[in-house]
Amino acid sequence: MKISVTRDSLHAGLGAVAATIPSKTTLPVLSNILLEARDGALFLSGTDLDISVSVKIDAEVEQEGAVTIPARKFAEIARELPAAPVHIEVDGMEIRIEGGKSKFKLFGLAPEEFPSFPEVDFGESWRMKAADLHELITRVSFAVSTEESRPILNGVLWQLRPDSATMVATNGHRLARLKTTLEGVGAPEADLIVPPKALQQVQRLFGSDEEVEVARSRNHLAFRSPSRQVFTRLIEGPYPNYEQVIPTDSDKAATANRDNLAAAIRRMAVVASDQTHRVRMAFSEGSLSFRVQTPDLGEAEEEMPVDYQGESLEIGFNANYLLEVLRYMPDDDVIVQFKAPERAATFMPASGAPDYLCLVMPLRLLD
């Protein structure tokens, strides 16, 4: 194997793959990146056995071949090389790297030891704009559970239909759901549970102006563009019926400025309980008042104007969940809908678009 690449393209390619490399592993080859020189390009691949990434970069290929190279050291070398062409030559397991007047030698492992990527048939696939995919991931994935007691909630539910894609995530206390339209899809509908770490990789690797092709096998999902591929193992099992917890009979609604509401909640959270983070919110005509009382610590109060015409109502929430939801609201104004102090409240952008909804379960108020 003998190739030449630009330092910048090599550095960018390694950066794209490096996040997949596990920091600790009992399988030495997983600490390496697979280099393949073929078809007039250099392919860099990494995997932790759950998520696999492959990136194609332009290269002058004088001699085709493959080898695996220690990922961390190779990335450090590429970062420190001068802005000059990088020449890589492989002789057996010995890899020589030259850039400017710098020369390095690293020892790799046989490419045959590198795990093969999952086989996914792209004959039936979905196509969507990467910008739409980024939007889905950003607005929803924050709500996944991090507790190991219910592994199914550690993933994002992705419902793919002939003309739409919906992502949902919840930890049982708050939920986020976003729906977007699809055009020209050729795959059957499916409900997939995707690890958020894989979705973060997709978000990092595919530019907003790209089109992404998505396909699945029985237990893997693949994303690809002409120069990049991401494979991930799916989380198996039935996702809870989230639709039954979304209220359909809420008869009270308030419209508030998102930033002002978030700022007031942050101030109240300063003296909220470290265990419950409870904030009491009292809605009355034209105003919303906040109150926090924490034994042995103190109390806080605040009031702000809101557009609200319904009956007076007090309801309690975990301040952290409210702040998360407000952070990802796309509009300057947010609509809060609710029915009773013990019923879930929903949060939506005031413009009504995109088709985005968040839900927060209330906390019991103690007088």
| pLDDT confidence band for 161 (50 / 70 / 90) | confident
Residue 185 has pLDDT above 70, yes or no: no
> Do 354 and 284 fall within a single domain?
yes
Residue 118 within a domain:
no
Q: Provide the percentage of residues in the chain whose pLDDT is more than 90.
A: 87
User: Is 121 within the bounds of a domain?
Assistant: no
Among residues 44, 64, 61, the alpha carbon closest in space to that of 1 is found at 64
- Specify the pLDDT at position 122: 87
Q: Which of 58, 81, 113 is the last residue of a domain?
A: 113
Q: Is the pLDDT of residue 184 over 70?
A: no
41 and 134 together in one domain: no
79 and 174 together in one domain: no
Share of the chain above pLDDT 70, in %: 98
CB 288 within 8 A of CB 308: yes
Task: Give the integer Cα–Cα distance in Å for 56 and 294.
Answer: 56
Average model confidence (pLDDT) across the chain: 93
User: 222 with 259, same domain?
Assistant: no
pLDDT > 80? residue 183: no
Note whether 143 and 159 are same-domain residues: yes
Are 228 and 257 part of one and the same domain? no
Question: Residue 352: inside a domain, yes or no?
Answer: yes
pLDDT tens-digit map of 275-298: 999 999 999 999 999 999 999 899
Per-residue model confidence as pLDDT tens digits over 6-50: 999 999 999 999 889 998 888 999 999 999 999 999 999 999 999
Residue-wise pLDDT for 310-344, tens only, equals 899 999 999 999 999 999 999 999 999 999 999 99
Q: Could you read off the pLDDT of 84-104 as tens digits, one per residue?
A: 999 999 999 999 999 999 999
Q: Are both 141 and 109 inside the same structural domain?
A: no
* CB contact at 8 A, 140 and 156: yes
* 3-state SS assignment for residue 202: helix
Is residue 205 located within the same domain as residue 274?
A: no
What CATH number has the domain bearing residue 323?
3.10.150.10
Total of domains in the chain: 3
Calculate the alpha carbon distances from 216 to 121, 126, 222, 234 in Å. Answer: 7, 9, 6, 9
- Out of 242, 269, 295, a domain closes at 242
Give residue 346's pLDDT: 97
Same domain, 93 and 172: no
Among 181, 213, 242, identify where a domain stops: 242
For residue 162, what are the domain limits?
A: 126-242
pLDDT of residue 148: 87
Check whether residue 233 and residue 203 sit in a common domain.
Answer: yes
pLDDT digits (tens, 9 = 90+) for 119-149: 998 888 888 899 999 999 999 999 999 998 8
| Residue 126 bridge partners (DSSP) | 214
- pLDDT tens-place string over residues 186-212: 667 899 999 999 999 999 999 999 999
Does residue 367 sit within a domain? Answer: no
Query: Do 205 and 250 share a domain, yes or no?
Result: no
Whether 220 and 205 share a structural domain? yes
